[in-house]
Structure 1
Amino acid sequence: VIRRELRLAEGDRFSLTALNKSRRNLRNTLYFKDVDLKTRRTDENGKVDIDVIVEERETGTLSFGAGYSSEERLLFTGSVSQENLFGTGRKVYLNAYLSSKTHEFDFSFIEPYLSDMDLSLGLSLFNYTKYFDTYDYRKNGGGLSLLRPLKEDMKGGMRYRFERIKVLHIAERASRYIKEQEGVRTTSSITLSFVNDTIDDKMNPSSGSYAQARLELAGGPFGGDNYFVKPILTYGRYFPLKFMGSSLFAKGEVGSVSPFGGKKVPIYERFFVGGMDTVRGFKYGMAGKKDEEGEAIGNEAELFFNFEWIFPIYKPQGLKGVVFYDTGCGFDSTKEFDLRHGAGLGIRWFSPIGPLRLELGFNLSPKRGEKRSVFDFTIGTKY
């Protein structure tokens, strides 16, 4: 596992850049608490030895938790994971998330070094139920993905997914658009992606950038009931500051989805702007289109930006504070383009079960019927 991540081999010309990239690669495997690469002179003229010093961390976890958010109310989580199965680097995850709004169960397996082809293989299975005010939907399915390095810091990937989705429990007062979604449909798609990642530390980032381009094609030659094309561009960058050991983070994302073959875009493939991962200070999807009942129904295009100042609160435990400003919206045409704005503060903690985010967002220009603040909780990386 260690040798595969090193960018220097015996007999290579020494490079400080390659040494630093090797250190970053080892750190980002998430197998080690601490990573240090030291050089020392040898008796042979012009040659150095490199000592790789690592402290392994516990890669297997069993965890349970509970929390609360304005959107999900009381929530419970549980997970079983092994991120270095039998010392091979293989990863296995089993997760559960239960709240009044969401029931989610998923399994994933990652083989990071598939044979000698320099490919990583991913397999996922899931069952997901989302409860809205005027309807519910359930989906289950899985995905198969391949990822290959193209050059240093850049990877190309392809993913196939198949989902069976059922929209049900539609209220009498629901809008005509939501009533049209009732029934069972399938999505069969291929997604091509390119990623350039120079983030210094995935669990505790402070510098570097992340850029991703994705293009998903559903239906047509791949079958299924839903036919659409969905391109998405994402870019995020961390800027380290000398002040307090803090950093700035900026992220932007733009995406669209277009149907073809005489089909319509189903509600669960539209963009829902508003919430923890888009524009904070708004409930899920509420910075986009709503029907006459006030239910978020998503849009065929999205644009949003996040800006954060991240600062340490208690370094030994990885506790950080964040002050943020978000702007963005969902829209179907330029006439509907209406940027919404949110700001707030939060806490980030690198907990034993992963990065924990607690954030309170304020709607800076609330419209009639909108909440002025939203509290959110999640576990996972930011970018």
Structure 2
Amino acid sequence: MSLGKFTHGSCGQSSRGARILRGAVSAAAISFAAALVPGSASAQNYSFNRVEVEGNQRIPTSTIANYTEIQAGQPVSAAQLNDAYQRILGSGAFESVEIEPRGSTLFVRVTEHPIINRINFEGNRRIKSEKLAEIIESTERRVFNPGQAERDAATLAEAYSQQGRVAATVRPRIIRRSNNRVDLVFEIAEGGTTEIERVSFVGNRAFSDNRLRRVLGTKQAGLLRMFISSDTLIEERIEFDKQVLRDFYLSRGYADFRVNSANVEFTRERDAFYLVMNITEGQQFRFGQITTVSEIPEADAAEFQAALKVKPGAIYSPTQVENSIARLERLGLRKGVDFLRVEPRITRNDRNRTLDVQFVLTKGPRVFVERIDIEGNTTTLDRVIRQQFRIAEGDPFNPREIRESAERVRALGYFSDAEVDAHEGSSPQQVVIDVDVEEQPTGSLSLGGSYSANDGFGVAFGLSEDNFMGRGQRLSFSASTARDTEEYVLGFTEPYLLGRDLSFGINLGMSKRNSNYATYDWSRAFVNPSLTFPIGEDSKLQLRYSWQQSEMKARSDAVTTGAVTANEIAMGKRNTSALGFTYSYDTRRTGLNPNAGWLLELGADYAGLGGDNEFIRTNAKAVAQTRIMNEEVTLRATFEAGSLHWRGDNHSRVVDRYLLTSDTFRGFDPGGIGPRDQSNGVNDALGGNLYAVARFDVEFPLGLPEEYGLRGGVFYDVGNLWDLKHADLTGGDIVGENGSWRHVVGVSLLWTTGMGPLRFNFSKAISKEDYDEERSFDLTIQARF
């Protein structure tokens, strides 16, 4: 057995192979030199009647003879012999080649490349061998190619570089076996992770380094470097960061923004990198005049102008221009204007830093969609992909709609790659759309941990499949347990019911809660089917039905029970059957101002379609938020209110009424405010039929390095919970039925970690009742691993 060793830069042969190759080169050189000597016999042309080949085992003699391109009886010069030698060697099938003229016979001796018996990887821990085998081109039972082995080594080194291990080295090595076979071994030295020590910017004036770092996917190495992989140097991620930085500035009106360079340098110790991004911000522009003109008679410019939402004076954003074009084209479809094209013509006004936008309505070419061809979807059904297209065969062709459809296909998350192209069909007036996708796994298994002062430490388990049976449906199961709670939920979602933009979902589950704020526990089982569909660009409506069975029980460790609680426990199991809706309007991500937005939710449920309870419950929620001081400070205001109007002949229970938790109103225990029963020496929270809460938050940087992920906050909450109409208060000693307003102030520490967000709240109630249960500290942890 002989061993041949390679380096990363060259693939070496065995000593025997080297000797043969040197001999072959020498023989060719001597023959060629002799041919140049005047008067030498060798200078005469050769003539061969036959070609004899030695050493070949797999490759036929006739194939090698054909490589020489020498015809029997034809004169052959020394230069032609050299060309024949180069052709045989250049075929890549041989380790060495030697040619020797003997009279009228040309002898060719070859040594074939061996067959790869096995491919192994040694030294790899971070990337599994199965994954490495997928990215190389050398394969077992194929001819060994030294050049290909070197290229494979470079590919493997690049794979490690993409994980931030730029010092990784890969050396291919061969182990000779019998019958001209070799084992190909890639010896891998993974090296350590080379982190990005600092990310800094040059040329930024409007936004601080800290604000821009939050935009990038690349992060500085911080306290949690063991858990954060985005603090390593990955070239592709830096290219992506350039694009997202450009999008960030363009969406804020900096039309001349550009990234001049992104320089990466080693630290002095050469164990980390500095990333410096040199940028030019330019001036911020706003929208100037917004006009619409029509070049086609069937489109009324005034009607299309009225459909625009963007107004003069707003910060310029290309996204808003694209949204306006899409809005006008959709209006054209509703008006029956086929082949409508909207061309934005932008006029720059440097003096007042505005951009006038004129939307020109023109007639596009009469081109139709001939067909949509889909390839590569081995699991996903064709209809799931077609649902992302707003056009079908025979519709007018719209390039913008095709681009948006391609983005929707990619956003599904079902495919590792998705390409959508259009080309001419059977005629110039026909277009064929090709969709080429590559499937990827869509199932996930998650194990999580959580902590809250309400429920203590908990464990959550989740199993989901986002593309169930290739139908685009989502099937999930989750289980969570904590000190005082337990819940199991099975969910199913069909996002395109009947092929329309109509989402159907259903949840089935059961939950139990051990109350730590009263002398009772409760459990429930529920079924909640729903339909959700958009009714506008930023709004949607959910229609739902809910059925649940709930029961209250006395706590096993309770010495005594309040009178009102005893009355409600005696009611036993109760069924609730209800119809409801929720309307939501959300501009926080799609509004004209990228730094401001608001959310409005209105909902109502009517119970009484069978079951034991009859009531009307209404809820309202509004959230407004904005960023100020160059987006360093976030202001947020939240308002919530609810009303329960009991209509049945029976009595309501605390599980039917509202109870405020720390998520709704900070500074108090769950059920810590509102009416209470103090009979029999207890202090049971009874909830209420009416509540109203307002929360005001300010979040700001602490001046610490951004990589620590720490921000500060202050908050002020005011709220009330009251009213016990239709409750059985027999024997109770009730306080707080008429309610009173509580006021809470506090500070927060927000820590964004690689395992999940942590929030520490320190609060003080500046206005409360004596019977309230106050909480001055609250910690929430949510982790996934």
User: TM-score category by the smaller chain?
Assistant: 0.7 to 0.9
2:765 is aligned with 1:364: yes
* SS of aligned partner of 1:279: coil
Kept in 2: contact 1:190–1:218 (CA 8 A): yes
Alignment of 1:228-267 (within 5 A): 228-243=615-630, 245-267=632-654
Code of the aligned partner of 1:149: P
Kept in 1: contact 2:480–2:487 (CA 8 A): yes
* SS of aligned partner of 1:257: strand
Give RMSD over aligned pairs: 4.3
Alignment of 1:320-359 (within 5 A): 321=711, 323-325=713-715, 326-332=717-723, 335-347=738-750, 349=752, 356-359=757-760
Deviations 1:291-341 (A, max 9, x none): 212332211111112222345788789x56452422212111894232332
Q: Would the alpha carbon gap of residues 307 and 272 (structure 1) be closer, same or farther in structure 2, given more than 3 Å must change?
A: same
Code of the aligned partner of 2:761: L
1:275, distance to aligned residue in structure 2 (A)? 0.9
1:272, distance to aligned residue in structure 2 (A)? 1.1
* Distance in 1 (alpha carbons) for counterparts of 2:598 and 2:397: 28
2:780 is aligned with 1:373: no
Kept in 2: contact 1:215–1:231 (CA 8 A): yes
* Distance in 1 (alpha carbons) for counterparts of 2:468 and 2:695: 36
* SS of aligned partner of 1:177: helix
Q: Would the alpha carbon gap of residues 335 and 172 (structure 1) be closer, same or farther in structure 2, given more than 3 Å must change?
A: same
* Distance in 2 (alpha carbons) for counterparts of 1:22 and 1:236: 33
1:188, distance to aligned residue in structure 2 (A)? 0.8
- Residue in 2 that maps onto 1:291: 677
1:197, distance to aligned residue in structure 2 (A)? 2.1
* Distance in 1 (alpha carbons) for counterparts of 2:528 and 2:544: 7
- Residue in 2 that maps onto 1:223: 610
Deviations 1:84-126 (A, max 9, x none): 4466543233222211211111121111111234311001011
* SS of aligned partner of 1:336: coil
Structure 1 window deviating more from structure 2 (159-168 vs 76-85): it is: 76-85
* SS of aligned partner of 1:252: strand
1:76, distance to aligned residue in structure 2 (A)? 1.8
* Distance in 1 (alpha carbons) for counterparts of 2:694 and 2:440: 35
* Distance in 2 (alpha carbons) for counterparts of 1:279 and 1:176: 27
Kept in 2: contact 1:274–1:329 (CA 8 A): no
Deviations 1:190-209 (A, max 9, x none): 112211122318xxx96432
Match of residue 144, structure 1, among 516, 529, 538: 529
* SS of aligned partner of 2:600: strand
Q: Would the alpha carbon gap of residues 139 and 335 (structure 1) be closer, same or farther in structure 2, given more than 3 Å must change?
A: closer
1:184, distance to aligned residue in structure 2 (A)? 0.8
Structure-1-length-normalised TM-score = 0.77
Q: Would the alpha carbon gap of residues 329 and 105 (structure 1) be closer, same or farther in structure 2, given more than 3 Å must change?
A: same
* Distance in 2 (alpha carbons) for counterparts of 1:282 and 1:67: 20
1:80, distance to aligned residue in structure 2 (A)? 1.9
Structure-2-length-normalised TM-score = 0.40
Deviations 1:132-161 (A, max 9, x none): 141110101211101122222222221111
- Residue in 1 that maps onto 2:694: 305
Code of the aligned partner of 1:61: S
Structure 1 window deviating more from structure 2 (74-83 vs 108-117): it is: 74-83
* Distance in 2 (alpha carbons) for counterparts of 1:196 and 1:84: 28
* Distance in 2 (alpha carbons) for counterparts of 1:257 and 1:84: 39
Q: Would the alpha carbon gap of residues 242 and 371 (structure 1) be closer, same or farther in structure 2, given more than 3 Å must change?
A: closer
Q: Which has the higher helix share?
A: 2
Kept in 1: contact 2:449–2:783 (CA 8 A): no
* Distance in 2 (alpha carbons) for counterparts of 1:4 and 1:307: 42
Alignment of 1:141-220 (within 5 A): 141-170=526-555, 171-182=558-569, 183-200=572-589, 207-219=596-608
Q: Would the alpha carbon gap of residues 154 and 68 (structure 1) be closer, same or farther in structure 2, given more than 3 Å must change?
A: closer
* SS of aligned partner of 2:573: strand
Higher relative contact order (CA 8 A, sep 6+): 1
Q: Would the alpha carbon gap of residues 252 and 378 (structure 1) be closer, same or farther in structure 2, given more than 3 Å must change?
A: farther
* SS of aligned partner of 2:564: helix
- Residue in 2 that maps onto 1:114: 497
* Distance in 1 (alpha carbons) for counterparts of 2:711 and 2:778: 17
Alignment of 1:73-88 (within 5 A): 73-85=456-468, 88=471
* Distance in 1 (alpha carbons) for counterparts of 2:705 and 2:495: 34
Code of the aligned partner of 1:216: D
* SS of aligned partner of 2:684: coil
* Distance in 1 (alpha carbons) for counterparts of 2:751 and 2:497: 34
Code of the aligned partner of 1:225: D
Kept in 1: contact 2:688–2:722 (CA 8 A): yes
Code of the aligned partner of 1:66: G
- Residue in 2 that maps onto 1:62: 445
Count, aligned residues: 360
Kept in 2: contact 1:280–1:361 (CA 8 A): no
Kept in 2: contact 1:303–1:330 (CA 8 A): yes
Code of the aligned partner of 2:475: V
* Distance in 1 (alpha carbons) for counterparts of 2:397 and 2:694: 43
Q: Would the alpha carbon gap of residues 193 and 243 (structure 1) be closer, same or farther in structure 2, given more than 3 Å must change?
A: same
Unaligned runs of 5+ in 2: 1-383, 417-434, 725-736
Code of the aligned partner of 2:613: N
* Distance in 2 (alpha carbons) for counterparts of 1:167 and 1:65: 29
* Distance in 2 (alpha carbons) for counterparts of 1:206 and 1:93: 34
Structure 1 window deviating more from structure 2 (173-182 vs 84-93): it is: 84-93
Code of the aligned partner of 1:358: R
Code of the aligned partner of 2:628: L
* Distance in 2 (alpha carbons) for counterparts of 1:75 and 1:185: 29
* Distance in 1 (alpha carbons) for counterparts of 2:489 and 2:598: 29
Deviations 1:187-240 (A, max 9, x none): 111112211122318xxx964322111110112xx1111111100011112313
* SS of aligned partner of 1:337: coil
Kept in 1: contact 2:674–2:739 (CA 8 A): no
Kept in 2: contact 1:71–1:376 (CA 8 A): no
Code of the aligned partner of 2:533: R
1:180, distance to aligned residue in structure 2 (A)? 1.4
* SS of aligned partner of 2:655: helix
* Distance in 1 (alpha carbons) for counterparts of 2:534 and 2:617: 24
* Distance in 1 (alpha carbons) for counterparts of 2:749 and 2:625: 17
Aligned-pair identity (%): 24
Structure 1 window deviating more from structure 2 (291-300 vs 205-214): it is: 205-214
| Higher CA-based Rg | 2
Alignment of 1:269-288 (within 5 A): 269-276=656-663, 278-288=664-674
Code of the aligned partner of 1:340: H
* SS of aligned partner of 1:255: strand
2:510 is aligned with 1:127: yes
Q: Would the alpha carbon gap of residues 62 and 309 (structure 1) be closer, same or farther in structure 2, given more than 3 Å must change?
A: farther
Q: Would the alpha carbon gap of residues 322 and 158 (structure 1) be closer, same or farther in structure 2, given more than 3 Å must change?
A: farther
1:79, distance to aligned residue in structure 2 (A)? 1.6
